[in-house]
Structure 1
Amino acid sequence: MSVKQEDAVKRPIANFPPSVWGDQFLVYDQQEDQSGVEKEVEELKEEVRKEILQALNLPTEHTNLLKLVDAVERLGVGYYFEPEIGQVLQHFYDAYGDKWTGGATSVWFRMMRQHGYFVSSDIFNNYKGKDGAFKKPSDDDVMGLLDLYEATYLRVPGEVILDDALAFARGRLDDISKDLSLTNSIVSKQIQEALTQPLHKRVPRIEALRYISFYQLKPSHNKPLLKLAKLGFNLLQSLHKKELSQICKWWKCFDVPTNLPYARNRLVESYFWSLSVYFEPQYSESRMFLAKVFAVATVLDDTYDAYGTLEELEIFTDAIKRWSITCLDILPKKIKLIYQMLLDVYGDMERILLKMGKAHHLNYVREAMTEYVRCYLKEAKWANDGYIPTAEEHKEVATTSGGYKFILIASFAAMGDVITDETFKWALTMPPLVRACCVIARVMDDIVTHEEEQERIHVASTIQCYMKEHGVTQQYAYALLNNKIEESWKEINHESLKCKDVEMPVIMRVINLARAMDVLYKDKDHFTHVDEELINHIKSLVLDAVVV
């Protein structure tokens, strides 16, 4: 097809909004010498480390130690103390098992489950009265109620006691948040934020910023820990700025707004998404690769959904399967550029993996991508034929075309020795842990995007499939699918506790991918229609330093 013919084809163009960022991240201003800050961070780390290890040997201090470790993690500096935190929680499990005898039971339960210890929820029977109902807490124990609420989000399927505890805690907190005497108070703000988004669904880097501002107002805060959190945040932010600048330069070479005007130009948002998956310094190469993968996957999505003809997409899918530079000759002009992008992204990662002696890991990532685009093509055929699949048919294809299985597998590249061939093989089989995360991604995306997508030729969404097959209203389908999201979170919790042969860093990639959806696709499509909320998140994470 000639360029003129290509331009003359009637296409389901979506007219996506342009990028809101311009070139502001292109240049990275090297910070002044950071050696003084790094030295102070090391001293503060040693101070906090000593405090943790000293308290470990004093059973009377175990409740305070639990709260300290929780604060360390919520303040975003847990990665400084991974061996110590592991030691503390293992000691707690060995010493107490399911029978925690200290205070802050809800915090203990949440922390143990977060770290893979399948402790029993029976301990919450102590919160009930003789009538079997949860006891109303005293008016001055609002934080205890908030802790109970947060703990319930670590529940697994069938855990009725925690379902009941959630309903009880949410109802009470809702009432308290409306109390006029608490309006605008710190406690009221905490409650409202928790009711909007529980801790378990929060992106860790955003939670660190939020918690720093709350923690410093606590009269009992640990001063060395607070200072470490602030200095550590700023140090890591300078690395994130540098990474974003590097990938912006790479992206600029392709001039997406000019060359692919039909596609979403979302490089900065893609970096934020990647940063949500892992923020720690040791994952720098992985994070930049994943940000590029997100950005190119967005262009792929728009090419299959809102640009390509069925014939073009069939040629493109075949070229991806063949994976050869010779395929460039057979592709239409715009699609040729995307293929070049893919070769470029994977070529860079191949060089990195070659140095690590793991170049073959890229084969697994390409296998996942090939499966992903095959599902895109299947959906393009459905859209072309005007076919509305059954909910089951749709689920099998859409769970993969949502991209999260491919993204998860791509996120493993260059993560280090924790990732083995077995890790990739496990993820490629779509095990229950991965499937639950993919369901959350697919359903949350469909709920907020389907109406806009149906204004053009587009494959039927999960919503349309449910409505047609079950003869239900749109609102009923929403309720059904929102419940599916909550059940999938329980499944993630359950599988993350069950999968003993899967390393915790791998499990955390799955959980953090689900958390990213709760920021980017909750209530609206923030990724496509970038608003103040997402702009503020991005600015606070990669532009604005914390005042120390």
Structure 2
Amino acid sequence: MSAEQEKIIRPIANFPPCIWGDQFLVYDQMKQEEKNATEQVVEELKHEVRKTFANLYVEAEHANLLKLVDSIQRLGIGYYFEEEIDKALQHVYDAYGDKWNGGCISLWFRLMRQKGFFVSCDIMNNYKDNDGAFKEKFANDVEEMLNLYEATFLRVPGEVILEDALTFTRARLDNMAKDPECFNNMFSTEIQRALKQPIRKRLPRLEAIHYIPFYQQQASHNKSLLKLAKLGFELLQLLHKKELSQLSKWWKAFDVPKNYPYARNRLVECYFWAQGVYFEPEYSQSRIFLAKTLAVATILDDTYDAYGIYEELMILTEAIERWSTECLDMLPEYMKQVYQMVLDLDNDMEEFMSKNGKAHHLIYWKEAMKEYIGSYMAEAKWRKEGYTPTPEEHTSVALISCGYKFLLITSLVGMGDIITDESFKWALAFPPLVKASCTLCRFQDDIVTHKEEQERNHVASSVECYVKEFDFSEEHVIDLFIKKVESAWADMNLESLVCKDVPMPLIMRVINFARVIEVLYKYQDNFTHVKEELQYHVKSLLIDSMSK
């Protein structure tokens, strides 16, 4: 950057540097003979588990069938048995509809709703006595309390009985957590984890890391299932390490610390984000595209938010709108590389999609990118003018600038035949499911980042907009936003049940994007300030081996 540029007063944020260095450039590979042998064992174990499925279709075993499905999903190997799980849950639904009577009510309810069956919450009245109070006989059953608690997070707006059940179970579990002698110690960690983050909000891969040792402690665990979970985790971790190594080599060539010292250098965290959206092996190329897009979008975000001046940003916005290498000459020197990165990413995706006759899908990606950058420019204009928008004005822009609509559309690129033109058009139309995910992202982000952002010349966040418009205290606004986040989850639950024309893999991308926010922004900005918790997650997923 030239001396003349440095004389310009810029809203520099002084973000912390990358903490990972070059450690992900290379990775320890499994010898091919060992890999082949492991894959052979995995196939044999999958066959064993499929036989277990077949033995549980009789009516007397339906509760155990549900428990098997739950264990498989929480062990992180649901992608091995998608057909079997779909068939099992359809079998249970066909047999009972809303009239389930096989015990494990809360587990049945959660699994059904997770899979898209809009079963009635009226069945939860079984937990209440004639006076409408929750029965005390359930209150001291730790496993039942946990299952009921977890089921409440599949509620949709207006389901009062589930809201009451949440209040009831949360209080009971909180008391149990404070008095560990009153229950089996094996459940102590499970209760604490549930109170911090319920299953509905957990990333499946992180859930597997914690659930595998818990499952192993249970005397009734299925040995084949446990071994399969460990070997499956190991094989998939190898693929993820390979992907991150490829990405690290790609990223290193841009020399971000030198060329973009004002920006967050967060490739590893971007890969963690993409891995949270989809970890399954069949989405490898899509995951790489999403991680690259996240990394480039982070530089663009910080260019608009934490370095660029208004006149420069106008030029960059015009260049994105025109989308041509001819625009390079009109850009300030420091912007040229990131603009070229955008064009190159588009070319890489187009080359891949052309092989499947779907290069035209990139039209939707470009449209979403232009909308995303346009929202940044709108915020830059507010910042330049010192304008605090009304909450309505702010929300109309901020739900786009949070990036989740654009990133969702990015995540669909390369997912396979299940994603069609209609899928992209649906996402671009900003349907309620996508809007709810963006709402969650925007408000949860602002809850934890607004104070730090306002310490520099930054556009007003939604917090400042609400404080000014309604003369609320900051604390009251934060409480309001926490409720908005919970409402957004309920809205996503509803839409995931009623969007029958939308493939479940697409719906799960939206849900998983929301889950990533629950990890990265729940209590602090873990993306900008990579502290112990996120470091632990990254190491567990991408460095440490699963204990045998």
Q: Do 2:139 and 2:172's aligned partners in 1 also have CA atoms closer than 8 Å? A: no
**SS of the residue 1:459 aligns to:** coil
How many Å separate the matches in 2 of 1:340 and 1:254? 11
Corresponding residue of 1:488: 488
- 1:215 maps to amino acid: Y
Alpha-carbon distance in 1 for matches of 2:135, 2:87: 34
Deviation at 1:213, TM superposition (A): 1.2
Aligned to 2:49: 48
What do residues 57-102 of structure 1 show as CA deviations (whole Å, max 9, x unaligned)?
x111111111011100110100001111110111111110001111
The equivalent residue for 1:368 is 368
Determine whether 1:377 maps to 2:377.
yes
Deviation at 1:131, TM superposition (A): 0.8
The answer to which of 145-154 and 337-346 deviates more is 337-346
Residue 451 of structure 2: aligned partner: 451
Q: Secondary structure at the match of 2:457?
A: coil
Deviation string, structure 1 residues 124-175 (Cα, Å, up to 9, x no partner): 0111011101112356521001000000000000000100010011011111
More deviation, 359-368/177-186: 177-186
C-alpha separation in 1, matches of 2:17 and 2:79? 36
Aligned length: 546
- 1:199 paired with 2:181, answer no
Contact 2:127 2:135 in 1 (8 A): yes
Q: Are residues 1:21 and 2:20 paired?
A: yes
- How far did 1:52 drift? 0.5
Query: What amino acid is the match of 1:15?
Result: N
Tell me by how many angstroms 1:28 deviates: 2.9
Match of 2:299 in 1: 299
Does the Cα contact within 8 Å between 2:142 and 2:183 map onto a contact in 1? Answer: no
Provide the C-alpha distance between the structure 2 equivalents of 1:404 and 1:351, rounded to a whole number of angstroms.
24
User: Mind listing any 5+ residue stretches in structure 1 that lack a counterpart?
Assistant: none
Task: Name the residue aligned to 1:5.
Answer: 4
Residue in structure 2 matched with residue 36 of structure 1 by the alignment: 37
Q: Which amino acid aligns with 1:143?
A: E
Q: Tell me how far apart the structure 2 counterparts of residues 458 and 396 of structure 1 sit (CA, whole Å).
A: 18
Q: Is 1:6–1:332's contact at 8 Å kept on the other side of the alignment?
A: no
CA shift for structure 1 position 185? 2.4
Matches of 1:262 and 1:356, distance apart in 2: 39
Separation in 2 of the partners of 1:183 and 1:150? 18
1:45 deviates by: 0.3
Map 1:212-361 to 2 at 5 A: 212-361=212-361
Deviation string 1:419-462 (CA, Å, 9 cap, x unpaired) is 00000000001100000000000111111111000011111001
Q: In the TM superposition, what is the alpha-carbon distance from 1:5 to its structure 2 partner? A: 2.6
Native 8 Å contact 2:127 2:138 kept in 1? no
Deviation at 1:357, TM superposition (A): 0.9
What's the CA shift string for 1:376-428, capped at 9, x where partnerless? 00000001110000000000000000000000000000000010000000000
Give TM-score, length-normalised by structure 2.
Answer: 0.98
Fraction of identical pairs, as percent:
61
Residue 472 of structure 2 corresponds to: 472
Which runs of structure 2 are paired with 1:402-417 in the superposition (5 Å)?
402-417=402-417
CA contact (8 A) 1:53 1:84 kept: no
Q: CA deviation at 1:4?
A: 3.7
- What is the CA distance between 1:9 and its match in structure 2? 1.2
Q: Aligned partners of 1:282, 1:10: CA distance in 2, in Å?
A: 47
- Superposed displacement of residue 188, structure 1: 1.5
Q: 1:449 to 1:184 in 2, by over 3 A?
A: farther
Structure 1 match to 2:501 = 501
Q: CA deviation at 1:545?
A: 1.4
Post-superposition CA distance 1:294-335 (Å, at most 9, x none): 111111110000010111000000100111111111111111
State how far apart, in whole Å, the 2-side matches of 1:40 and 1:164 are. 47
Q: Which amino acid aligns with 2:166?
A: L
Query: Contact 1:262–1:307 (CA<8 Å) still a contact in 2?
Result: yes
Question: Partner of 2:393 in structure 1?
Answer: 393
Q: Cα distance, 1:189 vs. partner?
A: 1.2
**1: CA distance, partners of 2:545 / 2:258:** 33
Matched position secondary structure for 1:113: helix
Provide the rounded CA distance (Å) in 2 between the counterparts of 1:379 and 1:139. Answer: 50
Is the 2:155–2:162 Cα contact (8 Å) retained in structure 1?
A: yes
Tell me if the contact between 2:176 and 2:183 (Cα under 8 Å) persists in the aligned partners.
Answer: no
C-alpha contact (below 8 Å) 1:365/1:410 kept by paired residues: yes
Which amino acid is 1:317 matched to? T
Q: 1:18 corresponds to which letter in structure 2?
A: P
1:454-503 deviation line (CA, Å, top 9, x unaligned): 01111100100011101010000000010000000000000000000000
Deviation at 1:180, TM superposition (A): 4.4
- How far apart in 1 are the matches of 2:138 and 2:29? 53
- Mapped partners of 1:366, 1:46: distance in 2: 44
Is the CA contact (8 Å cut-off) linking 1:97 and 1:119 kept in structure 2?
Answer: yes
Q: Distance in 1 between matches of 2:341 and 2:252?
A: 12
Partner of 1:83: 83
State the one-letter code of the partner of 2:116: G
Q: Corresponding residue for 2:422?
A: 422
Aligned to 1:153, what secondary structure does the other structure show?
helix
Runs of 4+ in structure 1 deviating by more than 4 angstroms, as ranges, are: none
- One-letter code aligned to 1:19: C
Contact 1:526 1:534 in 2 (8 A): yes
Alignment partners' CA distance in 2, 1:345 and 1:7:
29
| C-alpha distance in 1 between matches for 2:139 and 2:395 | 47
Q: Return the alpha-carbon distance in structure 2 between the equivalents of residues 6 and 536 of structure 1.
A: 39
Q: In structure 1, how many angstroms separate the alpha carbons of the residues matched to 2:44 and 2:118?
A: 35
Map 1:139-178 to 2 at 5 A: 141-178=141-178
State the AA in 1 paired with 2:18. Answer: S
- Cα deviation for residue 6 of structure 1 reads 2.3
Structure 2: unaligned runs, 5 residues or longer: none
What is the SS of the residue equivalent to 1:410?
helix
> 1:29, CA displacement in angstroms?
3.1
Partner of 2:519: 519
**Structure 1 residues 281-290 or 136-145, which shifts more?**
136-145
**Does the 8 Å contact 1:137/1:145 carry over to 2?**
no
- CA deviation map 1:487-537 (0-9, x unaligned): 000000000000000000000000000000000001100000000100110
Tell me if structure 2 keeps the 8 A contact 1:203–1:276.
yes
Structure 2 counterpart of 1:547: 547
- Is the contact between residue 447 and residue 478 of structure 2 (CA under 8 Å) also seen in structure 1? yes
What does the per-residue CA deviation read over 1:191-238, in whole Å, with 9 as the maximum and x for residues that have no partner? 111000111000110001111011000000010000000000000000
C-alpha contact 1:25 1:248 (8 A) present in aligned 2 = yes
